[in-house]
């Protein structure tokens, strides 16, 4: 079985790349320009239907005002987004055909495509989510000296005008201390201007995408996988552009730090890998799941169980020290531990455990038993128990898997069996899967998933 089929790491070698058959100009015209046109269309649509705070000078533009306040403007905006996303998916798949068949194989050419496709989305309002305004509001809490782990965004005057979703107005932040420091820095830099703050917050997400674009090919090379194929599937896909760049989710920074942590750990810098993975977990605590797999890399493929445990102890000690330092710097202590349940307040049919609980509850409601809350709680608890068991197995029985693939499986299980599933959660694991190797069946499933959630 090949390395790409199994995810195993063979002896390091130069990837079997095939030289491109066309010039940079030909590649740009054939592969880059269609995707660029797609994201320009999406950007135009975002001016009309993207999320904006109530008070922003952007609507002073006659064009933007027409797109947002007239029926024809709404039709044009929505149509531009639909056509743009469809064209982007097509452009990505056609580029993938060239990549998978050895035509477009230079990583730097794919970097060009990624950059060109991302730029139009960086300067327009976010689409599909307004979480970025919650990030900004949490930064305002920090600037005001209010603990975001015990107070929601509503503790800051003007939160609704700033674009915060009322669903999260009373909810404490579920994010880590490093993210709160960054959010505070953004507010201090932009002042009390939510749209400027949102665009600046997006730069943090773009930084995460840049990290992914650098780290995924590096990991793939170490795993004996084609760097260009890994980059195309794991980073250049429409989900990254729609949710990490346009949506500006902080998951991008978390995923980027995790990927860089694995890249440097594979390059024999495991302590730096532990530090980076801890920072990822201090953006979103889910990033801490990478730590035991970094510990496996640190121990080495031939390590005994005792040696692995020793490395895990060192990994945990370093991580705890970093988190303690961040707690002191932010003055928030370990409040993020008590706020981890915040995302679970949302119920979505996309989450298998939640869907099962709601379905059973719906059936019982027909018979007069209003127990949906109970059935959802039971289903989510069962999902959590199953998740913990699978994570333990992935850590304790690593035979036949690379540590990178083990981490990818761990993140995937957390998404599949978690209480909430959002489309961008798939990007916790997809870059690592792409870098560590997929079977043909897994590749098809990934393509269907990307197309379905784009």
User: Mean pLDDT per 10-residue run, the chain (454 residues)?
Assistant: 38 40 80 94 93 79 84 92 95 90 82 96 92 92 88 84 82 90 93 90 96 96 92 95 95 97 93 96 94 92 87 94 90 71 67 85 81 84 91 86 92 90 92 92 88 81
Q: Which two tokens stand for residue 419?
A: 């209480």
Whether residue 124 lies inside any domain: the answer is yes
Cα-based distances in Å from 265 to 224, 334, 432: 16, 27, 14
- What was the pLDDT predicted at 344? 56
| In contact, 167 and 420? CB cutoff 8 Å | no
How many domains are there within the chain? 1
Whether residue 346 lies inside any domain: the answer is no
- What was the pLDDT predicted at 20? 47
DSSP-H helix ranges across 267-400: 270-281, 291-299, 305-330, 335-338, 352-366, 372-396
| In contact, 125 and 51? CB cutoff 8 Å | yes
Whether residue 230 lies inside any domain: the answer is yes
Task: Give the span between the Cα atoms of 419 and 408, in whole angstroms.
Answer: 19
Whether residue 352 lies inside any domain: the answer is no
- What was the pLDDT predicted at 345? 64
- What was the pLDDT predicted at 12? 37
Angle at 208 between CA 130 and CA 113, to 5 degrees: 95
- What was the pLDDT predicted at 19? 45
Count Cβ atoms within 10 A of the Cβ of residue 366 and give its class: 0-12 exposed, 13-18 middle, 19 or more buried: exposed
Cα-based distances in Å from 113 to 96, 106, 213: 12, 11, 11
**CB-CB neighbours of 57 under 10 Å:** 10
Angle at 31 between CA 25 and CA 35, to 5 degrees: 120
Whether residue 278 lies inside any domain: the answer is yes
Cα-based distances in Å from 24 to 49, 56, 106, 363: 35, 41, 10, 59
Q: What is the domain extent for residue 425?
A: 3-129+196-338+386-453
Whether residue 381 lies inside any domain: the answer is no
Whether residue 400 lies inside any domain: the answer is yes
Whether residue 368 lies inside any domain: the answer is no
pTM for the model: 0.88
Q: Which two tokens stand for residue 57?
A: 């000078």
């Amino acid at each position: 079985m090949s390395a790409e089929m199994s995810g195993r790491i063979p002896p390091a070698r130069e990837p079997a790349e095939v030289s491109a058959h066309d010039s940079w100009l030909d590649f740009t015209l054939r592969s880059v320009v269609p995707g660029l046109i797609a994201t320009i269309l999406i950007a135009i649509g975002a001016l009309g239907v993207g999320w904006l705070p109530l008070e922003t000078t952007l609507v002073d533009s006659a064009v933007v005002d027409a797109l947002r306040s007239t029926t024809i403007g709404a039709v044009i905006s929505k149509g531009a987004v639909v056509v743009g996303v469809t064209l982007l998916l097509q452009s990505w798949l056609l580029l993938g055909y060239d990549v998978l068949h050895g035509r477009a194989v230079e990583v730097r050419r794919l970097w060009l495509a990624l950059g060109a496709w991302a730029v139009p989305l960086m300067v327009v309002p976010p689409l599909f989510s307004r979480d970025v305004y919650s990030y900004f509001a949490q930064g305002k809490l920090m600037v005001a000296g209010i603990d975001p782990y015990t107070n929601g965004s509503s503790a800051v005057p003007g939160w609704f005008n700033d674009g915060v979703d009322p669903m999260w107005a009373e909810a404490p932040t579920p994010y880590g201390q490093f993210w709160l420091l960054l959010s505070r820095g953004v507010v201090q830099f932009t002042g009390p201007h939510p749209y400027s703050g949102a665009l600046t917050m997006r730069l943090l997400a773009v930084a995460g995408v840049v990290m992914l674009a650098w780290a995924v090919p590096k990991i793939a090379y170490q795993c004996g996988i084609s760097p260009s194929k890994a980059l195309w599937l794991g980073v250049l896909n429409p989900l990254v552009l729609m949710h990490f760049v346009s949506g500006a989710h902080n998951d991008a920074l978390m995923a980027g730090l995790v990927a860089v942590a694995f890249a440097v750990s594979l390059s024999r810098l495991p302590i730096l890998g532990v530090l980076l993975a801890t920072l990822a977990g201090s953006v979103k605590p889910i990033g801490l799941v990478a730590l035991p797999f970094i510990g496996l890399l640190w121990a080495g493929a031939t390590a005994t169980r005792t040696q692995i445990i020793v490395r895990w102890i060192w990994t945990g000690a370093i991580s705890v020290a970093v988190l303690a330092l961040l707690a002191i710097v932010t003055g928030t202590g370990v409040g993020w531990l008590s706020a981890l349940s915040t995302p679970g307040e949302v119920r979505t049919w996309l989450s298998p455990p939640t869907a099962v609980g709601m379905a059973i509850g719906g059936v019982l409601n027909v018979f007069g038993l209003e127990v949906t809350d109970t059935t959802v709680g039971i289903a989510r608890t069962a999902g959590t128990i199953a998740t913990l068991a699978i994570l333990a197995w992935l850590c304790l029985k690593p035979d036949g898997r690379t540590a990178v693939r083990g981490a990818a499986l761990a993140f995937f299980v957390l998404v599949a069996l978690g209480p909430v599933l959002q489309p961008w959660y798939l990007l916790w694991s997809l870059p690592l899967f792409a870098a560590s190797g997929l079977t043909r069946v897994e590749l098809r499933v990934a393509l269907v998933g990307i197309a379905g959630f784009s």
